[in-house]
Every structure is written in structure tokens, then in C-alpha cells.
Chains A and B, each alone.
Chain A
Amino acid sequence: MAEQSPDTDASDRRAPDARTDGGTATERAPFGIPRWLGAALPLLLLALVLVGLFALSPFAGLSTGGAPPDVTVSHATLPDDGTVILHVVNNGPEPVRVEQVLVNDAYWSFSVTDGGANPRTLQPMESSRVVVPYHWTPGWDIETALVLADGATVHHGIVAPQPSPGVTGGTLWTLALVGVFVGVIPVLLGMLWFPFMRGLSDRWIHAALTFASGVLAFLAFDAGFEALELAEAVPGAFEGNLLVVLGVVGAFLLVQAVSAWSGGERQSPLALAYLVALGIGLHNLAEGLAIGSAFALGHVSLGAFLVVGFIVHNVTEGPAVVAPVARGERPALRHFLAMGLLAGGPVVLGGWVGGFAFSPTLGALFLAVGVGAILQVTVEIAGMIRRQGRLGTATNLLAALSGFALMYATDLLVVL
């Protein structure tokens, strides 16, 4: 770049040099076509091909009477014990009409909300809610089926139904409080190990860091499996599994980009600590989602278990956040508070989203984003240790393993 001469003639003479720059600096397109046209030409030709395809319809002979209808009931909500609401998405390329609804093998009246003049007809990719006035008994499973015009059925089972509280200011506040207890407080508590960690030798600090990456890696697996599980409930049109892949890879690259932009190769310890906090925060967003949706879907007792489990679980995330800054100068206290909020605060956000706008699609995506962020942070931590000393020591490996094991143990609290 420094060689670039200001005179315009030079660009011609220097063309061979410019080509070495990945070939991106070529001035002339073939046949003297202007550059903008060169960029637009393939798109114009593509449009022509598509128009031709529709006009000639060369595939008409292959037509086999249309695709079968593809409808998903993503989830159900139960505002009270006299109502069942099914959240429906039309995944197929054709409009679909919900003709009848079966509840526990009986025809039942229903109404379809959302949509315009004819709400019972769902356009491709359109989602809607089927409201069934059905008096159900808490705890007794409900089996529902939508019957489409051609007689195809779309089944959705609701296991051990409980009324879901619905949107109120009170639940908003409750979920926020739960989020603070589950997210912010345990992480801050975990950070209290910081003074102790400062007294440790390099070897033990590295052990603490690898322990932290063990914790993170476990969380990545945990959230990853959960994301794939949720992906199965994602309406087919949204390609649940690929959405998870997009979330993981996207978040990984995004956090990598943030890291490269902020510090490049030589990441400052504080920046790394923030990155760890960010990764954990994205993961905790998904945690909040789990808690919020447990409340939203009426599994309050399950929600309570999740809370206890996550609290214990999240205490171990504190030392992971502060481990990168255990060496050297102690950052200002506001940094600790900020990192605590970054790592724990998203639980509140996730709780609200899960409580009021839960959908498997959103859930799977959030979980995947958490996984991607965590993976990148783990890579980052490994890089830091490698720059300061050896990564593959017995102490480090055992520390990573114990991070895994501890997470497994505390995870049992969430599952049980």
C-alpha cells in the first residue's frame, strides 16, 4: 500500500503488482464491461433463467399432485383449565386449512386467532394459534390432533398439563428476581475466590484457567445436546438442526471477531476475562430461557428445581471469569461488577423471553449461540495459557477434567 503512487498512470504500470494482492485490484473487466455491470450481470442472468423456467415450466411433466401438507404444532400453552392453545406453523409450500380439532380422540370446537379474513387457512411459513375451549384436568395428559382438509392429522401431546401463569407485571418481576438469584449472585459469589487465586503460583493459575475451560466445555456440550433436542420440536420450515449449526458457528465467529478487533493476538487479561464473561453470559441467557419457559409451560415445580440447580452450578462460573486476571494488577472493582452482570445478567433477559415468547425455535437458537460463544472462549483461554507456559501439563489436564466432573455433579441437581 505504501508503494501506491498518487498519479493515475501508475496504476496501469503497477497492475501486475496489484494482482498479487489476491487479484482483487484488477481495474479492467474483460470486453471492457464496466465493473458495476460485471457485479450485476450474474444476477441479471439468474433472473432471466428463473423467468424462463417459469415461462416454459419444463418440470410440469414431473408434477405429482403437490406436496403433502407439513404442519407443526411447536408447543402448547394453557392459560387456564378451560383453554388449550396450540401454536401452529405451516412448513409446507401450500396453504393449509385447519378443518377440525380432536382433543383426546373427540371432535372439539375451536377458533384460530391471528391471520386475516380467513384465519383457519395458514399460508406457507405462517404461524398461528389454535384456541380450544377444553376443560382439562391438571396433571392428566392431553392428546390433541389437528385434522386438515385431506384428513391428514397433526398430533401434539401435552404431558402432565398445568396452567401457565401468563403475562403479568408480577411474573415479570418474579422472573427478574429469579434471574438475579440464579445468574448474578452466584457468579459474584464465585468471584470471591479472586483474592485466594491471586496468591497462587503460575502453575495453579493455569490449572484454574484449564479448570474454567473444563467448566465451559461441559456447558457447551450440555447446551449443545439440549439445543439439538429442542431442534426436533422446531417447525420443519426453520430447519432446527441447521439453525443450531448456524447459531454455534455464528456465535463462535462473532466472538472471535470481537476478540480480534479488541486485542488481536495479544489479548489483554482483562479483555479475556470479559470474553469469558460474555461466553458464560450467552450460555446463561439459555439458562434463563429454560427457567422462563418452564414457568410459561406451567412446570413451576420443574422451574424451582432448575433454580436450585443453576445457583450451585453458576457459583463455579465465577472463578472461571476472574481466572484470566488473577495475574498482574488487580482490575478496578467496577470491572468485577460489570463482568458479574455480563455473565449473570442475561439469565433475567432469558427468563423474560422464555416466559413470554417461548418457542422451540428461539430456544434452540439461543442455546446454540451460547455453545458457539463458549467454544470460542475456551479456545481463547487455551491460547493465553500457551503464550505464558505449557498447556498440556498433567495438572492442567486434571484441572480441566475436574471442571468437567464438577459440572456433571452440579448438573445432576438441575436434572433431578
Chain B
Amino acid sequence: MGRIDYERAAAVTDGLQSRLVDAVRDDAAVSRRGVLGGLGLAGAALVGASGTGTASGGHDDDEHGNFGASGEYSGSTFDPHEFLRQFNTGYDGQESVPQRVVETDGQRIREYEFSVSRTTVEVAPGIEFPVWAYNGQVPGPTIRVTEGDIIRIELTNGNRHGHTIHPHVKNVNPRMDGIPQNGPGLIETGETFTYEWQAEPMGCHLYHCHALPLKEHIHRGMYGTVIVDPDPERVREQPSDYCGFHPSQITPELRAELVARAKSRNHEYEENDAVQELVMVMNGFDTNFDGDNEVYAANTRAFAYGVGETDGDGNWAPGETKRPVQIDRERPVRVYLVNTIEFDPINSFHTHSQFFDYYDHGTTLLPTHETVDTVMQCQAQRGILELDYSDHDPGLYMFHAHQSEFAELGWMSFFEVV
């Protein structure tokens, strides 16, 4: 014991190495086509995120365009492509969300009417999932306000279960926390209650039902996004609140920079128009109720931002209901990303061929992660991504959850950079 026999060690190492080489060689011989055709994300990237009618061009001697959900979506109640760019500001928003803005004593109040109902959503082509939904859609409507505003939501419950709205914003009034144990408690069938919160802090936030069983109410679709835009005037006054620097460290240049960033983030400023803003709620559906999701998606529909068909040679076509997210390469892209996945502790977002800046929870104007291509979010975590494709060739760029299981079960998408 204690002494090392180097010769013996070398012999063992040699043996192991040649065995590994043999094993890999044999394996490669057996499964080369398997690897080409079906394994992993590389294969999926090659053949696209959708299957029907693929590889009809005879790209290879065997058909390998087999990956993805078959067919197109038929339900017309929810369009994830519309949802991507739909913001409800009170001034402007979806017809299905009654909304208005009132001002009293200089305080701006953004009012919304929400209703809870039961409906079904098509989560994969042909597969209807029964949901409980805010305003008939999953995810619920995206609300967008400026920090300091009052958000007022009048909730009417038309479902047979009690529901609430629990906000992930700072909330100083416990009655407005949207839990069964406080304030109005559960809003029962037929009842109406008006929640009121001050919009703070700025960021990309989440609202969801907090009725029990919590897991089921969230899994059934009762969640949505609240975006609180920074107020450039406040940023100018208190810049240290919006970055990780001490007031003594704020230079005039930094202050100007932060104000500029705030204007870019605020929907009421022209600077914001230059940015292509997208909302993506990462969610999943356990269609057979066994505690494990059969469908994963950004914005509810599996592969909704995938391509219709491809031959893997760069020739591809969009589907009618499954098509890439088109973006203009000249303008920066901002993604408001929220993770509401149930039954899995984490989710993630990964971009191909591109790195981005990430703002965890969106509560800072300087990135919390710079130059990353993958970001992880636990349940209810959210953030803002800023991407720039200006120096990229036009074409398809994939993005997906880098839990490969989630990707192959639907959370796989493309930007079409034009």
C-alpha cells in the first residue's frame, strides 16, 4: 500500500483507453444514422422544430425530418404570435381586456377588468387542455404601466372555484396580497373584488392566482405578466436606486446613461419605439395529470415559434400556425421573460449564435449578467433580455429551453432575422 506502481497504472490506463476507443467505434458504426436522424438538439436544429411533410426534397437517403409535433393548430381563440407583442397599458390594449386610465390629484391610475372563466386551450396540435383562465387566455393579459402608477384590477369570478390575484410587485397593504387568508380572501363564484397596487419596483413581474391547491391553480393557467417601466424623471433624481452603485459613485455620464436606458424601457417614450419588445411566458402542461408535463412552451403552444418544414439545407417554410418570430436585424430586441412552469423546479432560455445581456427581475437598468447565452430561472423568476442581431446574416436563429427534454417537448423556437 502507498506505493504507486507506475508501469501497472500505465497498463491499466492503456487498457481502459483502447476499450473506450473500441466502444465508441462500435457505437458509431451502429448508430450513425440514429445520431443523424434523431438524437439531441443538434439533430433537431438541423431538421427544424416541426415534422409534417419534412425532408420531402430527398435530402438524404433516409427521412430524418421526423422531429416535432405533427400538424397545425386549429383553435383560433389564442394566437401566441399576437400575444408576443400585446401590452395592455390602459391607453391601449386587447379588446378582450376592458381598460382605462384615470388621473386624480396627479396620481395616475390604470384600471383593468379581469374575469375568470373555464375554457380549453390547444397546447399542441389537436390537443385541448382544460384551463382556468384570466380573460379567457393563457397566459393572462400582459399589463404594462409606469412605476408609481396605481394598478387597479377589478376581478370577477365566473368559474366554479374561488380565485385570487396575487401580485409580484411591492405591496404595502396586506389586504391586497391576493391570498385566501387575508383581505377579501378567495373571490368566490359570481363575486367581484377590486385589487389595487402601487406599481413598484420597475421590472418584469408576475401575477398569479394564489388559491389552494396552488399547484393546480397555477398549472391550469392562472398567471400573467406585469411590466413596470422605469420613470426617467425618477431615474434622473435617484440614479443609485436603479443600479448597483453608491450615490457617491454616480457620475454625470452614468446618470445620463441610466436616464437613456430608462427612456428606452418606458413605453411612453419615443426611444422605446426603436426596440422590438416581446413577452415570453415559459409554461408547461401536464395533459394526463400525472405530475409531469407533456407539453412545454413559450406562450402556451408547443413549437408555436418553430418552422413549418425544412430540408435541413437552409430551405424552409413557415407553417400556418407554427412559424418563427420575425425580427428586424436593424433594431435591438428586448424579451420580457417569465417562468411560470409547474412541476419542474427550473426552466431556462438559450439563444443560438448570440449572447445577450440579462436583467434579473428587470429591477436594474444595468445588466445583472452580461454576455451570456443561457439563463436559468426558477419558478416565478423573471427577467429582461436584450439582444442585438445587427451583425448577423439574415436567417433562422434558434432559441429554446436548454433542458433538452423541455425543448423536445415543445419549448423550441426560432427567430427569423430579416
Question: Chain A residues in contact with chain B, CB under 8 A?
Answer: 81-82, 97, 99-102, 105-110, 132-138, 145, 147-153
Contacts and interface: CB of A to CB of B under 8 A. Distances in A.
B162 interface: no
Given A99-B126, A135-B64, A152-B288, 20 more contacts: A82-B37, A99-B124, A100-B127, A106-B408, A106-B409, A107-B67, A107-B68, A107-B70, A107-B408, A109-B54, A132-B66, A136-B38, A137-B31, A147-B287, A147-B294, A148-B127, A150-B127, A152-B287, A153-B287, A153-B294
Contacts of B285: 151
B62 interface: yes
A137 B32 CA distance: 9
A153 B68 CA distance: 17
B125 A81 contact: no
Contact of A149 (B37, B54, B128, B302): B128
B67 A153 contact: no
Contact of A108 (B33, B36, B39, B51): B51
27 contacts: A97-B126, A99-B124, A100-B125, A101-B70, A102-B409, A107-B68, A107-B303, A107-B410, A108-B51, A109-B51, A109-B54, A109-B68, A110-B70, A133-B66, A135-B31, A135-B37, A135-B64, A137-B30, A137-B34, A145-B294, A147-B124, A147-B127, A150-B287, A151-B129, A152-B288, A153-B287, A153-B290
A186 B118 CA distance: 69
A307 to B, nearest CB: 26
Dominant SS among interface residues on chain B: loop
Contacts of A107: 51, 67-70, 124, 302-303, 408-410
B311 to A, nearest CB: 14
B330 to A, nearest CB: 34
Given A105-B408, A110-B70, A99 B64 contact: no
| A97, A107, A138, A153: residue with the most chain B Cβ atoms closer than 10 Å | A107
B62 to A, nearest CB: 6
Nearest to B54: A109
A227 to B, nearest CB: 31
Contacts of B69: 100, 107
B132 to A, nearest CB: 15
A149 B67 contact: no
Given A102-B294, A107-B68, A109-B67, A135 B33 contact: yes
Contacts of B374: none
A105 B409 contact: yes
B266 to A, nearest CB: 40
Contacts of B128: 149-151
Contacts of A136: 34, 38
Nearest to A153: B288
A82 B62 contact: yes
A384 to B, nearest CB: 57
B126 A135 contact: no
Nearest to A136: B34
B63 interface: yes
Contacts of B36: 135
A83 B372 CA distance: 39
In the A-B complex, the 7 residue pairs with the smallest Cβ-Cβ separation, listed nearest first, are A151-B287, A109-B51, A106-B408, A99-B126, A135-B37, A135-B34, A107-B69
A91 B285 CA distance: 26
Contacts of A100: 69-70, 124-127
Nearest to A108: B66
Contacts of B38: 134-136
A81 B34 contact: yes
Interface of B: 30-31, 33-39, 51-52, 54, 62-71, 123-129, 285, 287-288, 290, 294, 302-303, 405, 408-410
Contacts of A105: 405, 408-409
A106 B400 CA distance: 14
Given A105-B409, A108-B51, A151 B288 contact: yes
Contacts of B67: 106-109
B341 to A, nearest CB: 15
A151 B39 CA distance: 25
Nearest to B302: A107
A375 B124 CA distance: 53
A150 to B, nearest CB: 6
Contacts of A138: 30
B40 to A, nearest CB: 10
Contacts of A153: 287-288, 290, 294
Contact of A133 (B39, B63, B290): B63
Contacts of A99: 70-71, 124-127
A106 B54 CA distance: 17
A9 B290 CA distance: 77
Contact of B126 (A109, A132, A149): A149
A397 B108 CA distance: 99
A106 B34 CA distance: 15
Nearest to A145: B294
Contacts of B409: 102, 105-107
A134 B64 CA distance: 8
Nearest to A105: B405
A99 B75 CA distance: 14
B67 to A, nearest CB: 6
B216 to A, nearest CB: 15
A100 B123 CA distance: 11
Contacts of B129: 151
A398 to B, nearest CB: 54
B364 to A, nearest CB: 37
Nearest to B69: A107
| B30, B34, B410: residue with the most chain A Cβ atoms closer than 10 Å | B34
Contacts of B405: 105-106
A102 B295 CA distance: 10
A72 B100 CA distance: 54
A102 to B, nearest CB: 7
B309 to A, nearest CB: 10
Given A109-B51, A138-B30, A149 B127 contact: yes
B50 to A, nearest CB: 8
Nearest to B129: A151
A56 B46 CA distance: 60
Contacts of B34: 81, 135-137
A130 to B, nearest CB: 11
Nearest to B31: A137
Contacts of A81: 33-34
A101 B34 CA distance: 18
Nearest to A109: B51
